[in-house]
């Protein structure tokens, strides 16, 4: 270890966002000695003296200053953490960021506001700011390293910012003004501004937390309080008359009659798509020609009304009543009404509020894919379809083998196989997994099913599976140290290819562990291949004969009638082995499209050869290409230690050997690019 001391530090995987120690210059404290104070100093000009006093005042109390060195590759990150938000998880997050980054670039908002830190870093070029606070979506355990990658690779977009100009309601005399504050907590909002039911619940939570912060130290308690406050407000119906005490005019159009007609109990002025713990209140108005899809940079704000029913429907994918998309709003209130500005609540006295566009700010938008990942429009890097096995993990196993990825893999239970598009995100994938569950209920216990995203016909293959609970979530298996849960509200931000290669892991907290009779331990739901000597059905025998003879129509008919693609012949070779050896490309493609992914690298029990070995020995180039494109291993060796490339070379086909070598090198490079640095 000692020989590394003299080596320069590379700052690791996150060097682009880390503030180098060389940028931090310690400020020397002035030393006032008696000799120096008695020495007569030459008087300088007043201007120079004033400038020096200003510099000393600026650096007063700061132990260091930042002297940046400009570099186009650097994207220094400034992190602000509010420990009180997010179920009081801020302290843990603060420590993790200090571990990954320079502690001098991480600031605790409970100690001091952001002003000093922003002033300190104001001359740093390409500066990015990460604000960590509670937004209701629920932080699970996503690795900080992955968040830093997303901040570094995120794209710069414009975000509209809106002014809130508040005046006393001119229609009411001063003596009729009720109790309430005369101004809002913020005069600018970036996300949303709302009044009514939701603001009333947030105000109760805010006041209770300020009075008793020790009672709000967990996300669960916070949610329970929100639920209780919402139920209490629902019973008291404190917001039921909201529509009678407001007037809303959008770009000259008076919306008050419609608001009173529908009796809204909550009105939201929304700038971004998400609101209220990750819900989408504007929805997708594709079928509504009066409105456009929502954007955060178009200079328009969305006005949405909610009844109690539509507020409840938000949590299950519903949306509010779309009222208007406008550039300016005039809002008049005739009584004290709870309001909130970007989550900061208050009870505002009767007022006239004008909402207008202020400016646009640069924001870092999380890319759905890191720049180190293959581009979606690159046909060489992203396949048209992905064949992925879905494995489920129980909460008991997840907690027991938290940091042992291999044990978790062994404890996982195969659920089925999906074939999805290469650019499929997790939100879409969830829909197909749920549909796969429904299909499995109607499939016999002796088959397995492959579900296709592109709605191609697929024949049932039996797989008995315990139904997933509604609370299941995806697991990220790409991290080097462990699996991480992915919050459901963020599934639309992740692609399937980002969290797995050929299999997906999901966590089911309500899964009951049970072993079925005649099923191997750890895989109770997967029908495994038949052992040697076990009886073979007539359909299975017909499938084997069809593959050997190269009869595709007979193969399809036998498979449709219940034959299995997992059977082996008397020579212990799988169907894919036989098809690859005989060079029947259409048979190989059909088995790849309909069979489980285990067939690709299944080894002959006698020679240890995979299907790719067989094809390489026979110099079947087209079959080799089909197998490689499907994801067959190029590095797997047979019982003699030979790879498929070696077998092609021995068979006298140097061109095929060169092709297999180039594909192997390509996969190695791609794997290094996809690997998550921790």
The more confident residue out of 263 and 279 is 263
Tokens describing residue 570? 């008397």
C-alpha 20/C-alpha 210 separation (Å) is 38
C-alpha 296/C-alpha 191 separation (Å) is 9
Exposed/middle/buried for residue 56 (C-beta within 10 Å: 0-12, 13-18, 19+): exposed
Biggest CA-to-CA distance, the chain: 111
C-alpha 175/C-alpha 161 separation (Å) is 35
Looking at residue 534, the DSSP 8-state letter turns out to be S
- pLDDT per residue as tens digits for the range 298-347: 899 999 999 888 887 777 777 888 999 999 999 999 889 999 998 889 99
C-alpha 320/C-alpha 601 separation (Å) is 51
Using an 8 Å Cβ cutoff, are 626 and 660 in contact? no
Segment 468-485 mean pLDDT: 79
Exposed/middle/buried for residue 293 (C-beta within 10 Å: 0-12, 13-18, 19+): exposed
Res 264 pLDDT > 80:
yes
The more confident residue out of 658 and 368 is 658
Select from 290, 287, 271, 283 the least CA-distant residue to 313: 283
At residue 177 the predicted structure's pLDDT band, cuts being 50, 70 and 90, is low
**What is the structure's pLDDT at 503?**
83
At residue 12 the predicted structure's pLDDT band, cuts being 50, 70 and 90, is confident
DSSP string, 398-467: HHHTTT-HHHHHHH-EEEEEEEEETT-BHHHHHHHHHHHHHHHHTS-TT---EEETT-----------PP
In Å, what is the CA distance from 104 to each residue of 81, 113, 151, 475, 476?
13, 15, 18, 33, 30
| Number of Cβ atoms within 10 Å of the Cβ of 5 | 6
In Å, what is the CA distance from 188 to each residue of 19, 280, 283?
31, 22, 25
Res 441 pLDDT > 70:
no
Q: What is the dihedral of CA 50, 55, 57, 63, to 10 degrees?
A: -160
- pLDDT per residue as tens digits for the range 59-116: 555 678 888 887 778 899 999 988 876 656 777 888 889 989 999 999 998 887 788 8
Tokens describing residue 458? 């697929």
State which fold the 385-508 domain adopts: Ubiquitin-like (UB roll) (3.10.20)
Each domain of the chain, given as residue ranges in start order, spans 13-29+53-139, 159-365, 385-508, 538-674
CATH architecture of structural domain 159-365: Sandwich (2.60)
Res 10 pLDDT > 90:
no
User: 19: which residues sit within 8 A by CB, 6+ positions away?
Assistant: 66, 76, 77, 101, 102, 104, 105
Looking at residue 332, the DSSP 8-state letter turns out to be E
Q: Which CATH superfamily is domain 538-674 in?
A: Ankyrin repeat-containing domain (1.25.40.20)
- pLDDT per residue as tens digits for the range 128-157: 999 887 665 556 567 788 888 888 888 888
Lowest mean pLDDT among 448-462, 482-496, 602-616: 448-462
What is the chain's mean pLDDT, rounded?
76
Same fold? 159-365, 385-508:
no
In Å, what is the CA distance from 211 to each residue of 128, 204, 230?
35, 11, 19
**What is the structure's pLDDT at 285?**
62
- pLDDT per residue as tens digits for the range 602-636: 887 778 889 999 999 999 888 998 888 888 888 88
Using an 8 Å Cβ cutoff, are 219 and 86 in contact? yes
Where do the H-state alpha helices sit in 132-186? 144-153
Using an 8 Å Cβ cutoff, are 580 and 588 in contact? yes
In Å, what is the CA distance from 354 to each residue of 163, 167, 242, 359?
8, 9, 18, 15
The more confident residue out of 392 and 560 is 392
Tokens describing residue 88? 């009081």
Res 45 pLDDT > 70:
no
In Å, what is the CA distance from 176 to each residue of 169, 170, 352, 353, 485?
10, 11, 15, 18, 54
């Amino acid at each position: 270890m000692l020989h590394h001391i003299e080596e320069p530090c590379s700052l690791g995987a996150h060097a682009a966002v880390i503030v180098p120690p060389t940028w931090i210059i310690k400020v020397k404290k002035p030393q006032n000695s008696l000799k120096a104070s008695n020495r007569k100093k030459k008087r300088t000009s007043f201007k120079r003296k004033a400038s020096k006093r200003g510099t000393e005042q600026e650096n007063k109390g700061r132990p260091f200053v930042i002297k940046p060195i400009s570099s186009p590759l650097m994207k220094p990150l400034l992190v602000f953490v509010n420990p009180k938000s997010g179920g009081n998880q801020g302290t843990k997050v603060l420590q993790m960021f200090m571990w990954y980054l320079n502690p001098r670039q991480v600031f605790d908002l409970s100690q001091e506001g952001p002003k000093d830190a922003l002033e300190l870093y104001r001359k740093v070029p390409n500066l990015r700011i990460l604000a960590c606070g509670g937004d209701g979506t629920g932080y699970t355990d996503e690795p900080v390293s992955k968040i830093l990658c997303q901040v570094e690779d995120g794209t710069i977009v414009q975000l509209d910012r809106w002014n809130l100009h508040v005046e006393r309601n001119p229609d009411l005399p001063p003596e009729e003004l009720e109790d309430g504050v005369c101004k809002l907590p913020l005069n600018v909002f970036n996300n949303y501004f709302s009044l009514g039911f939701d603001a009333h619940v947030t105000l109760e939570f805010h006041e209770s937390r300020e009075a008793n912060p020790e009672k709000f130290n967990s996300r669960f308690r916070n949610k329970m309080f929100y639920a209780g406050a919402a139920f209490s407000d629902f019973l008291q119906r404190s917001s039921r008359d909201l529509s009678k005490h407001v007037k809303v005019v959008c770009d000259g159009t008076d919306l008050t009659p419609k608001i009173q007609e529908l009796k809204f109990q909550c009105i939201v002025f929304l700038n971004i798509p998400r609101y209220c713990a990750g819900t989408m209140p504007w929805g997708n108005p594709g079928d509504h020609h009066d409105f456009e899809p929502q954007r955060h940079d178009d200079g328009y704000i969305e006005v949405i009304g909610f009844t109690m029913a539509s507020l409840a429907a938000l949590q299950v994918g519903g949306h509010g009543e779309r009222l208007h998309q406008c550039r300016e709003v005039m809002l008049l209130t005739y009584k004290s009404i709870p309001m909130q500005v970007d989550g900061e609540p208050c009870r505002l006295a009767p007022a006239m509020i004008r909402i207008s566009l202020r400016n646009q700010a640069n924001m870092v938008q999380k890319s759905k894919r890191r720049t180190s990942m293959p581009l979606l429009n690159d046909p060489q890097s992203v396949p048209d379809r992905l064949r992925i096995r879905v494995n489920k993990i129980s909460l008991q196993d997840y907690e027991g083998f938290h940091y042992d990825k291999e044990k978790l893999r062994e404890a996982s239970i195969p659920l089925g196989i999906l074939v999805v598009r290469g650019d499929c995100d997790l939100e879409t994938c969830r829909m197909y997994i749920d549909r796969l569950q429904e299909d499995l209920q109607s499939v016999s216990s002796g088959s397995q099913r492959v579900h296709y995203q592109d709605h191609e016909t697929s024949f049932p293959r039996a797989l008995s599976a315990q139904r997933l609970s509604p609370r299941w979530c995806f697991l990220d298996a790409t991290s080097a140290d462990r699996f991480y849960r992915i919050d459901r509200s963020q599934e639309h931000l992740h692609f399937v290819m980002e969290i797995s290669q050929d299999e997906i892991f999901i966590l089911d907290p309500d899964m009951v562990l049970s072993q079925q009779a005649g099923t191997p331990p750890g895989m109770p739901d997967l029908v495994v291949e038949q052992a040697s000597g076990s009886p073979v059905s007539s359909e299975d025998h017909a499938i084997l004969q069809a593959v050997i003879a190269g009869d595709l129509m007979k193969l399809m008919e036998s498979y449709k009638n219940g034959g299995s693609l997992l059977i082996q012949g008397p020579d212990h070779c799988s169907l894919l082995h036989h098809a690859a050896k005989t060079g029947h490309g259409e048979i190989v493609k059909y088995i790849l499209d309909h069979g489980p992914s285990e067939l690709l690298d299944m080894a002959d029990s006698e020679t240890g050869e995979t299907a790719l070995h067989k094809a390489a020995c026979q110099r079947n180039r087209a079959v080799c290409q089909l197998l490689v494109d499907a994801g067959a291993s190029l590095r797997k060796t047979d019982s003699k230690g030979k790879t498929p490339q070696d077998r092609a070379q021995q068979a006298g086909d140097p061109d095929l050997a060169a092709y297999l070598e180039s594909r192997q090198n390509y996969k190695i490079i791609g794997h290094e690019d996809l690997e998550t640095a921790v």
